[in-house]
Amino acid sequence: MQEPNGGMQKYDEVQRDKALTFFQTRREEWRAFVRESQGIGASVPVLALAKFFMLKSNMPFDMSSYMRAQADRIRESLGELEGCDPMRKQLMVADWLKRNAQAHRDSIILDQARTLEQLGDALAPELAAMVCDILPPTPLR
C-alpha cells in the first residue's frame, strides 16, 4: 500500500540528496563561509547559514531543475522555435539569456533556499556535522 504523501516524500528525499551533494562538493567553501560567519558575533542557525551560503555562491543546488525551468521560460518567452532557422534560434536564445539569465537564476536560487527551509530537520543535522568543529552548538533553524 502506497503512502498518501509517498510522491511528496520521495521528492523531498531527492531534494535533500541534491542539497547535501551541493554542500559536500563545496565542503571547503562551506566550511570557510561558516568560519567567516563566526565574526558576526551572534549565534546564527546552521540552516540560515546554509541559505546565505547558497545565495552568496549564486548557484542552485539542483542544476537539472534550474536548466529545465530555464528552457521552459525561454520557450514561454520566445514561443516554439522548432522549424526556426538554427542561427536565428541561437541568436534569440543568446539574447534572452543575456537579458534574463541572472533574474531567472536569482528566482530559482530563492526557490531552492525556501526548499532548504522546508527540508530543515532532514537536512540541518548533516549540514551542521560538516562544520561541527567550527560552529559552536547552535540551533539548527
Residue 32 lies in a domain: yes
Q: Can you tell me the mean pLDDT for 57-62?
A: 90
Domain range enclosing 79: 8-130
Residue 139 lies in a domain: no
More confident residue, 3 or 46: 46
State the cell numbers at 89: 534560434
Residue 141 lies in a domain: no
Residue 17 lies in a domain: yes
pTM above 0.85, yes or no: no
Residue 62 lies in a domain: yes
Q: Total structural domains in the chain?
A: 1
Least confident of 24-28, 40-44, 68-72, 89-93: 40-44
- Asked if 54 and 61 touch (Cβ cutoff 8 Å), the reply is yes
CA dist 131 and 66 (Å) reads: 27
Residue 34 lies in a domain: yes
